[in-house]
Amino acid sequence: MASGFWQDKRVIVTGGAGFLGSFVCQKLDERGAGEVIVPRSADYDLREKDAICQLISDTSKNGKPVNQIIHLAANVGGIGANREHPGEFFYDNLMMGVQLIHESYKAGIGKFIATGTICAYPKFTPVPFKEEDLWSGYPEETNAPYGLAKKMMLVQSQAYREEYGYNSIFILPVNLYGPRDNFDLNSSHVIPAMIRKCIEARNAGAKSITLWGDGSPSREFLYVEDAAEGLVLAAEKYNESNPVNLGSGREIKIRDLAEIIVTATGFKGEIIWDSGKPNGQPRRCLDTLKAQELFGFTAQMPFEEGVKRTVAWYEANK
């Protein structure tokens, strides 16, 4: 799938060794990108301005910086992690984003691709979430610090385009899932956490598992390879600072999600809902028309098939 656009392009992918980042790097390689650079946190602490400047300097060739930065690095987790580390999540994500965009602009890097989060939307956004509704209220409390820190990249992108003509874009992926996800129960999101709980309970012959909340909220999920494809298409084709949703357009209740995962994992026991634990945002489902219109992205992976592939990957790699 080589694309002439990427042929001589040199790209930094922050978080390129992570869940989404590894697939983005794969897509760039498939398209024949000139060079894909993945900085490691051990070498460059992207919360620190000096480390960012060093990264840009170290990856310049003949005095010229890379063509693009795709910024995927984040300090992220599920509801539990967000409740325990609101200050850390706010600071780390804000400092990375703000300084990376600023130093990229100063260095003359041609384009900056910022990834936001669905947590940036107001708690009671009308469904499906339209990009125009981003500022119509305060985010759901448990992940507001993380969501707002990421949302500042949108403000910065628009301000820098207006004042300096800097080309940066802001993409809002919905909840991701798929192979290579984080299955640590202390920090994982809902799908990997459910998969792990079901498989461990199945293997132990347990009669039940306990899940957070009451199962009533809805979510939308995007298979990680679809998300990577969408980001690379946006990096190639989209050159405005208005936010764009990246999703599948399918809404599913957490209770129904649990049944799909129970079936996919072969767990035969009962699900107990712990309604003392928070549900998070009541509903999440995106309007995905803009991504289709502006850079030709439509999600391809059927949800049940994506869950099966994720279960198979976890079984093979746990």
Query: CB pairs under 8 A, 24+ apart, for 36-39?
Result: 36/11, 37/10, 37/11, 37/12, 37/13, 37/66, 38/12, 38/13, 39/12, 39/14
Would you say residue 2 has pLDDT above 70? no
- For 41-95, the pLDDT digits (tens) are 999 999 999 999 999 999 999 999 999 999 999 998 777 778 899 999 999 999 9
Give dist(CA 150, CA 175) in Å, integer.
Answer: 15
CATH numbers and ranges of domains, the chain: 4-181+221-250+283-301 (3.40.50.720)
Q: What is the mean pLDDT of residues 237-250?
A: 97
Average confidence (pLDDT) over 103-129: 96
pLDDT of res. 49: 98
Cβ-count burial 275-286 (b if 16+ within 10 Å, e if not): eeebbbbebbbb
Active site residue 238: no
DSSP string, 181-244: ----TTT--HHHHHHHHHHHHHHHT-SEEEEES-S--EE-EEEHHHHHHHHHHHHHH----S-E
Residues 314 and 196: beta-carbon distance below 8 Å: yes
Global model pTM greater than 0.75: yes
Q: Which of 121, 146, 177, 238 is catalytic?
A: 146
Rounded to an integer, the average pLDDT of 207-229 is 96
On the question of a cis peptide bond just before residue 128, with omega within 30 degrees of 0, the verdict is yes
pLDDT tens digit sequence for 4-48: 999 999 999 999 999 999 999 999 999 999 999 999 999 999 999
Nearest Cα neighbor of 186 from 277, 78, 287, 93 is: 78
DSSP state of 129: B
Would you call 253 helix, strand, or coil by DSSP? Answer: strand
On the question of pLDDT at 3 being above 90, the answer is no
